């Protein structure tokens, strides 16, 4: 059992930490509300556009546009999306583990893999693992906008169209709830078709002004929207994870303060008892 001064110093230290974690929780809660609004507003548009494009692609010639052209995959590009900061529980770790699993799977298929890091944690990870790094982005936490998403999407499309890679994947945390985030490994390029082949053969589309004009407009926009939605999902998931982590840290600090206070009271009681025994012993000695 430590001295009263040491215990009191530890209690004050933990109280200061609790104030910090409580403040960080409140900040994350405010950021989460803003991120959740953006993500919720964009999600229906992104999902509907994905459904429409997948159905449309199933009824057209795959060679009608460079972003649809399928070829034997020997080289893959993986975009790993994380945050720039820690203190968010397993948010970054889960995304990085998901990326590692995907890379291992692709290499197991005999493919070479390039990695693009979105976020400081992803950048450090791909460098530490000695991955072949294609591109890096930082400073996006809390600053996600469509301009950045377009830049990342254009990088992916250029690499695919120029045949530097044969397929492109996104790995990120999808926001499910404040307490749940799922890691998603999603193929971005080539754009996959939905529906059976038989159903696709029976489909007929009339394109105005032309199929190439429509695909030239829709397909790049689709890729940009999917990247933008992934960034928004990751941002909301990060703030949710950080808020939960700070709440747990605040509760742990409160529990520690309670335990230290109990230890302090026991130590003080032992000190008072010892002092009383000394006084009583001194009094008995005087009587003799």
Q: Rounded to the nearest 5°, which phi and psi values hold at 126?
A: -65, -30
Identify the active-site residue in 39, 46, 60, 88: 88
Task: Identify which of 146, 147, 157 has the alpha carbon closest to the alpha carbon of residue 116.
Answer: 157
What does the alpha-carbon distance between residue 9 and residue 5 come to, in Å, rounded to a whole number? 6
Residue 88 a catalytic site member? yes
72 burial type by CB count under 10 A (0-12 exposed, 13-18 middle, 19+ buried): exposed
Helices and strands, counts by H and E, the chain:
6, 5
Angle of the 211-287 helix axis to the 146-161 helix axis, nearest 10: 120
Given 3-state DSSP classes, what are the helix, strand and coil percentages for the chain, each rounded to the nearest 5?
Answer: 65, 15, 20
What does the alpha-carbon distance between residue 208 and residue 282 come to, in Å, rounded to a whole number? 107
CA-to-CA separations, 81 to 22, 166, 201, in angstroms, rounded: 27, 20, 37
Q: Tokens 């082949």 sit at which residue? A: 197
Q: Which residues are catalytic?
A: 88
């Amino acid at each position: 059992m430590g001295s009263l001064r040491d215990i009191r110093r530890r209690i004050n230290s933990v109280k200061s930490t609790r104030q910090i974690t409580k403040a960080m929780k409140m900040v994350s809660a405010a950021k989460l509300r803003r991120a959740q609004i953006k993500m919720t507003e964009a999600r229906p548009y992104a999902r509907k556009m994905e459904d429409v494009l997948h159905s449309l692609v199933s009824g057209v010639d795959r060679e009608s546009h460079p972003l649809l052209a399928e070829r034997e995959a020997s080289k893959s590009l993986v975009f790993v999306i994380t945050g720039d900061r820690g203190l968010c529980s397993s948010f970054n770790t889960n995304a990085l583990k998901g990326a590692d699993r995907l890379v291992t799977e692709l290499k197991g298929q005999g493919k070479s893999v390039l990695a693009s890091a979105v976020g400081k944690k992803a950048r450090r990870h791909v460098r530490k693992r000695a991955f072949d790094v294609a591109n890096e982005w930082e400073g996006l936490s809390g600053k996600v906008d469509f301009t950045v998403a377009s830049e990342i999407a254009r990088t992916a499309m250029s690499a695919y169209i120029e045949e530097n890679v044969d397929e492109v994947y996104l790995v990120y945390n999808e926001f499910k709830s404040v307490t749940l985030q799922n890691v998603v490994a999603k193929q971005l390029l080539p754009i996959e078709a939905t529906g059976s082949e038989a159903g696709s053969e029976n489909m007929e589309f009339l394109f105005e002004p032309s199929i190439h004009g429509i695909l030239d407009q829709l397909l790049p926009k689709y890729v940009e929207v999917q990247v933008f939605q992934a960034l928004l999902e990751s941002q909301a998931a990060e703030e949710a994870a950080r808020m939960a982590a700070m709440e747990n840290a605040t509760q742990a600090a409160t529990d520690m303060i309670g335990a230290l206070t109990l230890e302090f009271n026991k130590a003080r009681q032992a000190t008072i008892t010892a002092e009383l025994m000394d006084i009583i012993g001194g009094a008995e000695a005087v009587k003799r």
